[in-house]
Amino acid sequence: MIFFYSGCGNSRHVAEKVAEATGDQLVYIPQAAREGKTHYAVRTDERVGFVFPIYSWRPPQLVLDFIGGLRLEGKPSYVYMFVTYGDDAGQADQVLGKALEAAGLQLDAAFGVTMPNTYVNMLFMDVDKPDVVQRKLEEAERRVGEVSGWIAARKRMTDLNRGGAPRLKTFVVGVGFNKWVSDKKYRATDACVSCGRCAEVCPLQNITIEDGRPRWNGHCTHCEACYHYCPQNAVQFGRVTRGKGQYHFDEKNGREK
């Protein structure tokens, strides 16, 4: 069983590739949370994985909240995490490990893969250049195939790019980031054509269309899906995102769109 979360498609792609290699069932965390599905039966020989993007060197809070309410009938033989990041993971595995321990599970393995950057809500942060995007995607395909094999074989190991000062990033910067996250600065410019795409792609269903314009309703995780999927680039976060690029994973060919 693979529990996964994705905003702009990178982690969804990884989860689907692992599922293809292992035959394991996919469970989309936001949908499960909305439907109140917290109890799952697992076999004693079953793998249980958690696939998600790294947010400021930590697991997204919605993933931690889901694990906090998760109840498994039976004890899996192997529990792993496979995360996506633009640069590095810090000590996100330690944060997830503690959450799993509280839920009665033990993290046996932690893997990561570098994917194109998606976070643009801070000054000096933008999407990768097209050549970097392409290189990352090509390298990611090889990496996901390799890690999928390790997962199928139930390898107990940690293979993450932690980056520099990982503890500082995860337990100071990351904690501060979670306190700062808010949707109050999101807005739609006059370029908005009321297509509703932003509401459609929001994993948390946090966006409603009112009087032809999107409205953010206070339950945002800064996944950036509304910004990156907008066909008019009309969704903006204050003034910080003006002139910045867009990226989301294209399921058809693995290229930026």
Q: How many CB atoms lie within 10 A of CB 31?
A: 12
| AA letter at 149 | G
Question: Radius of gyration over alpha carbons of the chain, in Å?
Answer: 18
Q: Which amino acid is at 171?
A: F
Q: Determine which helix (DSSP H) or strand (DSSP E) holds 200, and give its type and residue range.
A: helix 197-201
Residues 121, 222 contacting (CB under 8 angstroms): yes
Whole-number pLDDT of residue 181: 95
The secondary structure element, H or E, covering residue 92 is helix 92-102
Instruction: For residues 168 and 90, give the distance between their C-alpha atoms in angstroms, rounded to a whole number.
Output: 8
In 26-89 the beta strands, taken as DSSP E runs, fall at 26-28, 39-41, 47-53, 71-73, 78-85
Residue 250: the pLDDT is: 80
Tell me phi and psi for residue 94, to 5 degrees.
-70, -40
Residue 116: strand, helix, or coil: coil
- Position 38 scores a pLDDT of 93
* pLDDT of res. 43: 87
Closest C-alpha among 88, 145, 137 to residue 248: 137
Distance CA 132, CA 147 (A): 22
Answer for the pair 230, 213: CB distance below 8 angstroms, yes or no: no
Cα 197 off chain centre by: 19
Number of Cβ within 10 Å of residue 153's Cβ equals: 9
What domains appear along the chain, each with residue ranges and CATH number?
2-178 (3.40.50), 182-237 (3.30.70.20)
Q: What is the structure's pLDDT at 252?
A: 53
pLDDT tens-place values along the chain, 257 residues long: 999 999 999 999 999 999 999 999 999 999 999 999 999 999 888 999 999 999 999 999 999 999 999 999 988 999 999 999 999 999 999 999 999 999 999 999 999 999 999 999 999 999 999 999 999 999 999 999 999 999 999 999 999 999 999 999 999 999 999 999 999 999 999 999 999 999 999 999 999 999 999 999 999 999 999 999 999 999 999 999 999 999 999 865 444 33
